[in-house]
Structure 1
Amino acid sequence: MSQASPGLADAVDWRLYVVTDTALSGGPDRVPYIVEQAALGGAGVVQVRDKHLPDADFLALTRACRGAARRAEDVTGRPVALVVNDRLDVAEELGLHFHQGQDDGDIRQARRRLGTDLLIGLSISSLVELEAELADQTADVLGLSPLWATPTKTDAAPALGPDGAVRLIDATSGRAKTVAIGGINAATAPDAIATGVDGICVVSAIATAPDPRAAAAHLLALWRTR
């Protein structure tokens, strides 16, 4: 087993996990603003994701998002965990947490390169994938995906649905944090939260919101009614 240092995942507030989308945000220049506003609204985790930007541009975007998250932290006093999607070189260079999909390389290589002071997330879409990961565990957090069908990821596996997510959460047995992603917004979030996940991941619910800070605060408030 090669997870991150004990307690590192427990120190993160997973309840509201925001994933960036450059196009939905209105371009790379606007992404850091949305990150800052989401963090001011209470997001505890932000993942920088862009499958299309060249590496140098993605590195610059991630740096800008890191600065935005730190500015929000200075205001709120709440830490924000910044996660890099897929680009292991960027995560390693900037010393940031990392998330990868099933087809994004060997997760054990990511652990070797990042060490045990950073968290690694892995997308899980089925019980088979979950059992394979838990047999030789590396991931600290599992992204259960997709909970519902979503237009922001058209190549996703079939939707798990709340019942499918519950089965995966039960099978995880607390060995990793679990977050759900796919089709989650203010209307569907209560059903996602009710599955027992540690957090909900949202994309368009923040990226396209007229007021990202208020949207984040509203989503976070839904946990208090659980």
Structure 2
Amino acid sequence: MARCSVRAVSRGHRPHGRDRRGRPVIPPTTDFSLYFVTDTALCGGVERVPHVVYEAVMGGVGVVQVRDKELGDSEFSVLAKECAKAVGRAEQDSGRPAHLFVNDRLNIAADLGLNVHVGQSDAAAKEARRVLGRDLMVGLSVSSPDEARAAVAERYADVLGIGPVWATPTKNDAGPPLGPDGVTACAAFARTVGLASVAIGGINPSTATRLAGVPVDGLCVVSAIAGAEDPRHAAAEMRRLATMTLMRGRDS
């Protein structure tokens, strides 16, 4: 399958694989502490999304997921390319690596050589792993301990997006809130086989520290950065809160 040169834009997009036991091998440069999912409307339109991505990485975001359910494939492909370039520029300017995922569009992830994040109703993680092989990361949304247990048993995903933690206006099809205890139960399954996990849903500067002690690898935000007047400042503040919050969870 032909792949374009976008993958080379960012030194953070490095090949990885799986060890002989089938456990995920996530690139050592990957920092899930603060994970940003784009929202085109909150960013101010499709033309501004790459700018917000750049500012977010400059502020401390380590992983970006490009999500837009409304764009056609050709428009989304252009957006993903521009965001990959923005991540690459931010890596060079900040001196920190960052990684880029695309949401759902497995065909575009394969064409551009990018990581993909899928939901329970999107392309299956098994299909994503088959298409992308062992060189790229696969993320999977889980909304219950049962879904987390199944993901661990299947071992196709590298990182689980666990949520929603709390009610969120940015995802209309989200399930009922898990709360910190539900996220803890899901993350515990992920840890048993070395899967990374991030909490998502309703996380903002007012709620982030309520996840202290929850054993996830990162906090995932949307509106806290996408809807901010100053995305870089907002990312820096969320990074500070994420670091403080996660320090307690890693020893749990």
- Please give the range of the TM-score, normalised by the shorter of the 2 chains: over 0.9
Are residues 1:185 and 2:198 paired?
A: no
Cα shift at 1:9: 4.5
| SS of residue paired to 1:159 | coil
Q: Against the structure 1 CA distance between its residues 14 and 174, is the aligned structure 2 distance closer, same or farther, given a 3 Å change threshold?
A: farther
Are residues 1:220 and 2:239 paired?
A: yes
Percent of aligned pairs sharing the same letter: 51
Contact 1:193 1:223 in 2 (8 A): no
What do you get for the CA RMSD once the two structures are aligned? 1.4
**2:229 matched to which residue of 1?**
210
CA distance in 1, matches of 2:190, 2:18: 19
| SS of residue paired to 1:170 | helix
| SS of residue paired to 1:84 | strand
**1:138 matched to which residue of 2?**
156
TM norm structure 1:
0.95
Q: Deviations over 1:104-137 (max 9, x none)?
A: 1222111111011110000011122122222221
**How do 1:54-69 residues align onto structure 2 when only pairs under 5 Å count?**
54-69=72-87
Q: Deviations over 1:173-204 (max 9, x none)?
A: 34210101000001111123431210011000
**2:220 matched to which residue of 1?**
201
**2:189 matched to which residue of 1?**
171
**1:20 matched to which residue of 2?**
38
Contact 1:193 1:200 in 2 (8 A): no
Q: Gapped runs of 5+ residues in structure 1?
A: none
CA distance in 1, matches of 2:27, 2:169: 29
**1:149 matched to which residue of 2?**
167
Contact 1:184 1:192 in 2 (8 A): no
**1:5 matched to which residue of 2?**
18
Contact 1:15 1:200 in 2 (8 A): yes
Cα shift at 1:10: 4.2
Contact 2:33 2:243 in 1 (8 A): no
Aligned length: 224
Q: Deviations over 1:137-184 (max 9, x none)?
A: 110000001011100012111000001111111222342101010000
Cα shift at 1:21: 0.3
Q: 1:97 aligns with which of 115, 118, 125?
A: 115
CA distance in 1, matches of 2:31, 2:102: 17
Contact 1:9 1:177 in 2 (8 A): no
Cα shift at 1:212: 0.4
CA distance in 1, matches of 2:65, 2:109: 11
| SS of residue paired to 1:79 | coil
**1:37 matched to which residue of 2?**
55
Aligned AA for 2:225?
I
Q: Gapped runs of 5+ residues in structure 2?
A: 1-15, 20-24, 248-252
